[in-house]
Structure 1
Amino acid sequence: MFDTHVDTLYVWVALGTVSVAVFGVVVSLPASAPPDATATAATVDEVATSPAGSVATRELDAVEWSLSDREIGLRSDGGVAHATVLEPFVPALDGRLAAVLEGGRPSRYFGSPTGLRRAAERARTADTGWRPAPERLTVRHVAWGGVDVTLVG
């Protein structure tokens, strides 16, 4: 009645192996969800299709981000997420474009609409690698003398 069966040892070894494998899978899962790049892109599209002067802000839960003229990438401990926007935008991360993004008049920072256009073209073609992400995203639709841009930063 109390005899040990030979198969019992094999069952315990197999059960232990499976337990270790399941534990490994659980430990390797990310602790949080990836950032919501789709909602961020929707905010950009909303402002881009709104009248000039429109502004929106959105909290970001990302550690890093990458911006190109049609794509936003967000990276955090939970993973990486990318989203494509409908309307092209201009990354305004520093300098005069960032000042306009924060509410400055374009005429204060640029001598003419052509200067704004050139700065926007340079920013669109700049390096789009990963950068530290701010705590909040700001989007502003600017129109001045025939130049119509959506600034993101």
Structure 2
Amino acid sequence: MFETHVDTLYLWVGLGTVSIAVLGVVVGLPTTAPPDATGAAATIDEVTTSPAGSVTHRGLIAEEWILTNREIRLRNDGGTAIARLIRAVVPARTDQLRAVLDGKRPAGAYDTPDTFRRDIREVRNADTDWRPAPDQLTVRHVAWGGTDVTIVG
């Protein structure tokens, strides 16, 4: 009646091992959700298909991002998300494009429509490395001097 069963020791060792394994899995799970690249792409697409002068803002929960003319990639501790865009866009990587994105008229930021067009072309061909993501995504559709473009930053 008071004997020690050999099976009991194995049972406790097995239970302890399983408990430690489950704890390891739980600790290894991400604490945040993956970013919403599809929602960000939908916001961008909405402005690209709207008339020139359209602008919108959207909160962005991501640590890093890559924005090319046809794709947005967002990354945080929860993972990486990628979404395609309907139309080509321009990332606001220069000071002048950032000024236009923030509401300055292109004629006030650039000397001529040709310099505006050249800046857009250079930014589209620039590198596509991971960059720190902004807290808020701003999208503005601009038309000036025969150039119709959506700027994102």
The TM-score with structure 1 as length reference comes to: 0.95
SS where residue 58 of structure 2 aligns?
A: strand
Which aligned pairs between 1:53-92 and structure 2 lie closer than 5 A?
Answer: 53-92=53-92
Moved over 3 A (4+): none
Per-residue deviation, 1:19: 0.8
- Superimposed CA distance per residue, residues 86-111 of structure 1 (whole angstroms, 9 cap, x where no aligned partner): 11100013311111111111111222
- Superimposed CA distance per residue, residues 105-140 of structure 1 (whole angstroms, 9 cap, x where no aligned partner): 111122222221111111111111111111111000
Per-residue deviation, 1:30: 0.4
- Superimposed CA distance per residue, residues 29-87 of structure 1 (whole angstroms, 9 cap, x where no aligned partner): 00010111110111000000000000000111111111111111112222221111111
2:121 maps to 1:121? yes
* 1:42 corresponds to: 42
Counterpart of 2:5 in structure 1: which amino acid?
H
RMSD: 1.1
Q: In structure 1, how many angstroms separate the alpha carbons of the residues matched to 2:67 and 2:46? A: 17
Counterpart of 1:41 in structure 2: which amino acid?
A
Q: Any gaps of 5 or more consecutive residues in structure 1?
A: none
Which aligned pairs between 1:1-153 and structure 2 lie closer than 5 A?
Answer: 1-153=1-153
Which has the higher mean CA deviation after the structures are superposed, 25-34 or 4-13? 4-13
Share of identical aligned residues, percent?
63
Equivalent residues, number: 153
Q: In structure 2, how many angstroms separate the alpha carbons of the residues matched to 1:2 and 1:80? A: 58
- Superimposed CA distance per residue, residues 7-44 of structure 1 (whole angstroms, 9 cap, x where no aligned partner): 11111111111111111111000001011111011100
Per-residue deviation, 1:2: 2.4
SS where residue 56 of structure 2 aligns?
A: strand
Q: In structure 2, how many angstroms separate the alpha carbons of the residues matched to 1:3 and 1:82? A: 62
